[in-house]
Structure 1
Amino acid sequence: MDLQISVFLLFVLFTAGHSFSCYECMGLTGSCADQKLKTCPSGSSKCMSLTTVAQAGGVTAKVQVKSCAPDCVNGYMNFGTAKTSLACCNTDQCNVQDAPDPPHASNGKTCYSCDGQSCSNVMSCSGNENRCIKATGHSFSCYECVGLTGSCADQKLKTCPSGSSKCMSLTTVAQAGGVTAKVQVKSCAPDCVNGYMNFGTAKTSLACCNTDQCNVQDAPDPPHASNGKTCYSCDGQSCSNVMSCSGNENRCIKATASYGGQSLVVKGCASQSICDATVSVPNADSISCCEGNLCNGAQSVSQSFLFLCCSLLSFLLLH
C-alpha cells in the first residue's frame, strides 16, 4: 500500500512538473525545416502554426510561423493580397506539422478588400471563410508636398494628426503678366471636397479621398474648355470682368472681407461642392454662390483680392 502511494505521488510530481513545449520557427522562405522545440512560458498552453501566402507585384511569397500561444483558433483569413491559414492544438509538441496552405477555391461569398489605394475591391472568399472582416487601428497617412515649381516629385508620407481622416491634392494654375505658374499641394485634411474654383487669373482643381495614402496621384489640371456658364471676376482693379466657367463649375461665387480698413472682393466660378463647403471661412465677411449667368454682380474695387483668395483656399485645405 505504501509503495502504491509512493508511486502515485511520484507520478503526480513528475507530471505536474513536466513543462509544456511547442515547436517554434519563423520560415520567411516558406519552410520551417529549422524548427526547434521551445519550453512555453507560464500561461501558454497551446501550440500554433501559421501559413501565409502573399502576392505583390507579380511575386508570391510564403511564410511559415510556429510558436507557443496562450490561446489560438483554427481557421482562415483572406485579405486579397495575403491569405492565412491558422492551426491550433493543445497537446505537448503538437505543432510539428505545418499549417495547411490557405484554400483558393471560391465558396461563393464575397467581401470588400483593400489594396493600399482603395477599400472598394470585391474579393471571393474560400474554404470556411463565412464572414467579412474589417480591422482598424493602423495610423492614417497621406502624401505631403508643396510644389511651387509645378511638381510634387519630392512628396513624402506623413502620419496624419488626430481628426484628419482624408487626403487632399490641389493643383493651381495662375497667370500674371504673361507668366504662367503651376503649384501642387498635398496634405492630410480633416475634411475636403472634389471640385474646381476659377477666379480668372487663377484656376484650382481639388481632389479629396479617404483611404490610407490615397493622394499619391496629383490633382488633375483645372479644365479650360468653356461649359457655357459665365460669371463676373475681379482683376484687382475691377470686378466687372466676364469670364467663362469650365468643367463642373456650375455656380458663380462672391466673397468679401475687411482687411486693413479696406473691403476686398473675389469673384469667379466654382463647383457646387466648393460652395457647399465654404462656411465660416476665416477673415471672410460673407461668401455666397448663385446659379444664374453673371449672378454674382459687377462691383468695382480698387484693392487686391489676393488676401481673401488665400483665406478661401486655406479654409478649403485646412478646415
Structure 2
Amino acid sequence: MDFFFWTHFVFLLFLAAHALGLQCYSCDGNSNCLDSQVCQEHQDRCRTTVMTTLTQSGISTYFLKGCDVSGKANNSISYLSKNQVVFLAEEHCESQLCNEETPNVLDVLLARGRQHRPMQCYSCGQAEGTCFNSSLAQMRCSRPGEQCVDITSFTMLEEEFSQDAQHIKGCGQLAHCQEPLGFHNQGSFYLIKCCNASLCNKETEDYKATPLPLNGLTCYSCEGNFSHGCAPNDITQVQCQGSMNQCLEASGIDGISGQSSVVKGCASSSWCDSPYTAIYKNLGAPYTRCCTGELCNNWIVNESTLKPSARSQADHNPTTSSVLLSSSLLLWVAFLLCSENS
C-alpha cells in the first residue's frame, strides 16, 4: 500500500510540475539567485549570464538569470574597458532549475597561466571611443580555443543617436564564427568577425560612417509583426552591402511578447547557416530562409505563411534547401552594452 501511495504521489508531483511549466532561477544584480520563476509558454530554456569585471581593487560580478527562448548557444567574450578587464559568459539549459551554477572567472584566470603560447588580440569597447583608433590596446586571451573577435552593431538612426553604434574587440568563443557573419536591413547592421592568429583583429573601419560597397542585390526589409513593422505598407527594399549577398526572411516567437515575429533583410551565407538571427532579434524557435534572387525573400507575407518549425531552412536556390542549426549565440551584446552605458 505504501509503495502504491508513494508511486502515485510522485506521479502527481510530476504532473503538477509539468502543468506549472519550466522553472528557472531568476536574478538581476550583484548576488547569485535563490529565487525562481515559472517560464511563459513560449520560453523553454533557462539562461545564465554573468559579467565579471577585474580591476586593481578587486573582482566584481553581475548576475542575470531567468527564462529564455530556444535557439541560443553557450558563448563567452572578454575585452578591455578603460582600466578593467570585462569577462562575459552566457549559458543555456533545458531542465527544471538547471541554471543554478554560474561560469567562474577564476577558472578563466587560472587557464591563462597554463597556456604555452596564449593568443594575443586587440581589444576595445565603444564606451571609451577607442575602437576606431590606430593605436589599439592589446590583451592576452585566457583559454585555449579562444579567437580574436571583432563585433559591430548599430541601428540606422539619425546621427544624434550615435551612441547606438557599438564596436567591441577582444577574445572570445563564439559559435559558428569561422567566417565573417553579417546581416543588415533598413533598421540595423551587424557584422561579427573571428580570426585565429595573434593580433589579427586590427581592422578599424567605421561601417556606419563609411558603409560597405553595394553588391548589386536588393532584398525586402522589415522587422516586427504583421500589424506593425512587417505589415504590407511597412515592408521596404534595401540594397545589400559587402558579403551580405543573400536575402533573408525569418519567422519565430518574440522572446518578450511571445507573439509571432518576422525579420527580412540582407545576410551573408555564413549568417544564413548560423543561428545569429535568434540572438540579435531575440527570436525563439526560428524558421530562417535565405535565397539569392532579387527580392526573393517574399515567401512570408502574412501570419498564415509563418513556419511553426523550430528548425531553420536556407534555400540557396529555388530547388535546393538544407536544414540549418537551431542553436545560437547569446543576448550578451545588448546586456553588455547596456551595462557599459549605465
TM-score, normalising length: structure 2: 0.44
Select the structure with the greater relative contact order (CA < 8 A; seq sep ≥ 6). 2
More helix by share: 2
Greater Rg by CA: 1
